[in-house]
Structure 1
Amino acid sequence: MLATAVCGVLITGCGSGNGGGNHDAKANAKPAAEPKPLTAGALRPLLLSQADLGTGYVQVPEKSDSGKFDDVSVQGCSALDKLDQNGDGIAFAAKAETSFTYGTDATLSEELHSDRPSVLSSKLRALFHAYISCPKYTMTAGTTPITVKVAKSATPKLGDEQFAYTSTMELPSGAQVLKTMAVRRGNVAVMLVGAPALVDRHMTTAFDKLPSAS
């Protein structure tokens, strides 16, 4: 699963008229148009590759999203229930994703999302707020209940906005810790999910592949 819209408007007034004329010019000025979302096709080349990550990473073949979360439900977190009440959670205009394994049990998944900056910002805020608002909840995968503990995490000083939280899942095989971090630059956001050390290690590389904000 995966933001202050930064909008700068420069209005330059030149002339020898009185203050009223300058006020009218400002009042009639139109706000700068937001960059449009990129397409999924434009996002895919920006995803991390094995060459970006180095040795030891194996890319996982892409699978369809259809039915991927049909047997997963959440109990004990009204914020997540509200987030997903329309059946598909928070959806952005375009998305591209990939994932890797590292060693025998570590994973790293990446999602790129694109939308208008203000929309991307507000939806990322809603998404991360929903998760960190519930320090503990239960997730059921199939018939197996899993206790999940969530804590807000520190973020690097990258891009326009940054979000992160760490989830500790009490699995039958033992506790598993995953970190989710997102960084937005203009109309594109990169989200990494996986072993905390891998997310911290590769976020800057993933961010550097994003196009410069318009």
Structure 2
Amino acid sequence: MMRISTSGTPRWMLGTAVCGVLITGCSSGGDGGDAKPQAKPAAEAKPLAAGALRSLLLTQADLGSGYAQAQEEPGEEKFDDISVQGCPALEKLGQSGEENMFAAKAEASFTYDRDATLGEEVHSDRPSVLSSKLRELFDAYTSCPTYTMTSGTTPIEVKVSKSVPPKLGDEQFAYTSTMELPSGAQVLKTMAVRKGNVAVMLVGAPALVDRHIETAVGKLPAGS
């Protein structure tokens, strides 16, 4: 059994696992031919500061009527008692969790019509780091079609399927999770889009994620 640390995995991904669901660098090799002068690779864009990311988050004005922003108490740790069984890739991901997955982040969460949820995180890092870590994260979460998530002493059966994201930004990732909760099945979609050195992630009711992902990506800097 693997215990997931909230310090190594985005908070909203763990939150969705309880409410109803969420590193390696790139490497390159060369052939053994004659050594030739090579142009110096272009420098990668540096991460943005966390303060700059906050202005990129969705707001109630962006979302429209019916949404309320959820407030979280500083230092609140809601998901320390989450564990996963039956998915080796997720176990490995949890065991190798880093204190900070990306260089900077900002986050917000909303409720819609009182019972639907939409969570957002905006992350920044060097483009190669964002790309490799997002790919590893989504590969892990889609590697097992079923697994068991335990919240405290309550086992939750989870079914996962890959989803087709819209062609936005430089890279896109998406999957849909169905949780068998005591109150009934709940379906959530997780989607991420990377644009240069910034990535936006949405998770929540599938219709809400699909409705707002284009707006969320549209708030990212054009030159990021």
3-state SS, counterpart of residue 163 of structure 1: strand
Please say if residues 77 and 137 of structure 1, whose CA atoms lie closer than 8 Å, have aligned partners that are also in contact: yes
Q: Classify the secondary structure of the residue corresponding to 1:34.
A: coil
Q: Which residue matches 1:70?
A: 80
Instruction: Give the Cα separation in 2 of the matches to 1:60 and 1:66.
Output: 13
1:36 corresponds, among 43, 46, 51, to 46
Q: Tell me if structure 2 keeps the 8 A contact 1:187–1:213.
A: no
User: 1:118 aligned to 2:128?
Assistant: yes
Q: State the alpha-carbon separation in 2 of the partners of residues 194 and 65 from structure 1.
A: 23
Distance 1:140 1:165 in 2: 20
Q: 2:221 matched to which residue of 1?
A: 211
Report 1:129-148 matches (<5 A).
Answer: 129-148=139-158
- 4+ residue runs over 6 A deviation: none
Deviation at 1:88, TM superposition (A): 4.5
1:79 and 1:29 map into 2 onto residues whose CA distance is 38
The corresponding residue for 1:168 is: 178
Identify unmatched segments of 5+ residues in structure 2: 1-12, 14-21, 26-34
Q: Closer, same or farther in 2 for the Cα pair 1:115/1:71, shift >3 Å?
A: same
The answer to whether structure 1 residue 152 and structure 2 residue 155 are counterparts is no
Secondary structure at the counterpart of residue 101 of structure 1:
strand
Change over 3 Å in CA distance of 1:65–1:137 after alignment to 2: farther
d(CA) in 1 for partners of 2:205, 2:89: 25
The amino acid across from 1:195 in the alignment is A
- Partner Cα distance (2:179, 2:62) in 1: 29
* 1:193 paired residue number: 203
TM-score (norm 1): 0.85
- TM-score of the pair, normalised by structure 2: 0.82
Counterpart of 2:164 in 1: which secondary structure?
Answer: coil
- Whether the 8 Å CA contact 1:83–1:90 is kept in 2: the answer is no
Work out the CA distance in 2 between the residues paired with 1:118 and 1:77: 27
Q: Which amino acid aligns with 1:152?
A: K
- Kindly provide the amino acid, as one letter, of the partner of residue 161 in structure 2: A
Structure 1 residue aligned with 2:28:
none
In 1, Cα distance between the equivalents of 2:194 and 2:74?
25
Name the structure 2 match of 1:45.
55
Going from structure 1 to structure 2, the CA distance change for 1:102 and 1:172 (only over 3 Å counts) comes to: same
Alignment partners' CA distance in 1, 2:188 and 2:56: 23
Contact 1:111 1:191 in 2 (8 A): yes
Question: What is the match of residue 104 of structure 1?
Answer: 114
Post-superposition Cα deviations, 1:34-63, rounded to whole Å, max 9, x if no partner, equal 000011111001000000000000000134
* Cα distance in 1 between the residues matched to 2:100 and 2:91: 12
Secondary structure (helix, strand or coil) at the match of 1:68 reads coil
Are the aligned partners of 1:62 and 1:98 in contact in 2 as well (CA < 8 Å)? no
Aligned residues: 193
- Larger of the two Rg values belongs to structure: 1
Residue among 103, 114, 118 paired with 1:93: 103
- Residues 1-38 of structure 1 deviation map (CA, whole Å, 9 limit, x = unaligned): 26xx9xxxxxxxxxxxxxxxxx97xx242100000001
Q: What is the CA deviation profile of residues 145-197 of structure 1, one whole-angstrom value per residue up to 9, with x for unaligned ones?
A: 00000000011010000000000000000000000000000000000000000
